Amino acid sequence: MRNTFFISACFLLLILGCSSPKLMSYQEFSMVKELKLPQILNLKSSEKEILYFGTYHSNSISDSLFLRIKKEFKEFQPNFVLHEGGNDWPIYKNKDSTVLISGEPGYIIQLSQDNKIKYSTIEPKAKDEYEYLLKRYSLEYVVLMYMCRQIDNQQRLAIQHNTTDIQFIHNMNYFFRMLANDGIPINGEKLEFLYWKNVYKKLLKEELVWRKFNPELYYPNKYLTKLNEINRVSDEFRNSYMVEKILSTSDKFDKLMVLLGGGHLIMQQNLLEYKFNKKYK
C-alpha cells in the first residue's frame, strides 16, 4: 500500500512538473516592475519565422514609434501581417492622417497596402467575445467595460483633435451603435451615451466626467472594480485566441509579422514560444 502511494505521488509530481506553459496570469503580470515598450519577440525555425512587435498605443505623428515599426517591417519583409483591432481602421493617403485617427494598427495596415502585403485582424469575432462575457456577467457591466475602453481611447484622441464635449457624445453614440451591430443586445435608449452615463453612476457610485476619467477603473491589471475583472476575462479570451491565430497563420505564411499591444506579447510569450517550438522544431 505504501509503495503504491509513493509511486502515485511521484507520478503526480512528474505530471505537475512537466505541465506545459500557460498564458501569464494578471497576478503574475502585476508583478512586472517596469514595462518597457516596444518589445520584440523573434521566433524562428528552419521554415518559419515570426516577428512579434509589442507596442504601446500612440496617435502622435511625431512619435518615433512609427519609424521603429517601419524599420522592423522593411528589414523583416513579412509576407503576412496580423494587427490589433478590427478590419475597419480608417486608412488615408498619407501617414500622418492615418496615425492621427488609427494609430499603430492603421499604420501597419498602410505599410502593408503600400508594399502589397496581405494582412488581417488577429482579433476573435466580436460576437463570440460578447457571448463569452454575457454568459458570465450582466449586460450592464459588460457594456460599461467596453464603454470605458472607448472613453480611454477618446481621451487619447482628444489630445490630437481637441475634441469638444458635443463631438465626444456623438462619437460615443456611434460607438454604441457599432456594439449593437456587432451583436451586443442593445437598442432604443440604450444606444445613447446619456443612458450609460447614468448606469456608470449607478454601478460605480460616481459621476462620469469623460475628460477626468480614470482608466485604472477598467484596466485588467488593476483590482478596483468589477470592470477590471471583466476586462481580465476578455483579455484571457482574446489572448488564447490570438496565440492560436498566430500559429494557424504561420502554417500558411513563412514570414509573419504581428503588431499588438506589448501587454499581449508579455502574457502570450511563454505559451507561444512553447507551441511554436513544439510545432516547427
Distances from the Cα of 70 to the Cα of 93, 110, 119, 268, angstroms: 16, 10, 15, 24
- CB 121, CB 115: distance < 8 Å: no
Name the nearest CA neighbour of 151 among 187, 189, 193, 105: 193
Q: Is residue 41 a part of any domain in this protein?
A: no
The count of structural domains within the chain is 1
Q: Supply the range of the domain harboring residue 175.
A: 126-234
Interhelix angle for 165-182 vs 193-204, to 10°? 90
Q: Is residue 93 a part of any domain in this protein?
A: no
The order of strands in the sheet holding 49-55 is 39-44, 49-55, 255-261, 80-83, 118-121
The per-residue pLDDT for 6 is 43
Name the nearest CA neighbour of 108 among 154, 71, 161: 71
Apex CA 169: angle with CA 165 and CA 175, to 5°?
A: 145
Q: Is residue 174 a part of any domain in this protein?
A: yes
Q: Is residue 60 a part of any domain in this protein?
A: no
Segment 27-33 long-range contacts (CB within 8 Å, at least 24 positions apart): 29/221, 29/263, 29/266, 29/267, 30/221, 32/266
Q: Is residue 179 a part of any domain in this protein?
A: yes
3-state secondary structure of 25: coil
Give me the tens of pLDDT residue by residue for the chain, a chain 281 residues long: 444 444 444 444 444 445 679 999 998 988 888 889 999 999 999 999 999 999 999 999 999 999 999 999 999 999 999 999 988 899 999 999 999 999 999 999 999 999 999 999 999 999 999 999 999 999 999 999 999 999 999 999 998 889 999 999 999 999 999 999 999 999 999 999 999 999 999 999 999 999 999 999 999 989 999 999 999 999 999 999 999 999 999 999 999 999 999 999 999 999 999 999 999 98
Q: Is residue 119 a part of any domain in this protein?
A: no
Distances from the Cα of 79 to the Cα of 112, 118, 165, 185, 237, angstroms: 9, 7, 43, 38, 27
Q: Is residue 171 a part of any domain in this protein?
A: yes
- CB 151, CB 216: distance < 8 Å: no
- CB 43, CB 268: distance < 8 Å: no
Whole-number Å distance between alpha carbons of 112 and 188: 39
Name the nearest CA neighbour of 43 among 256, 261, 235: 256
Q: Is residue 185 a part of any domain in this protein?
A: yes
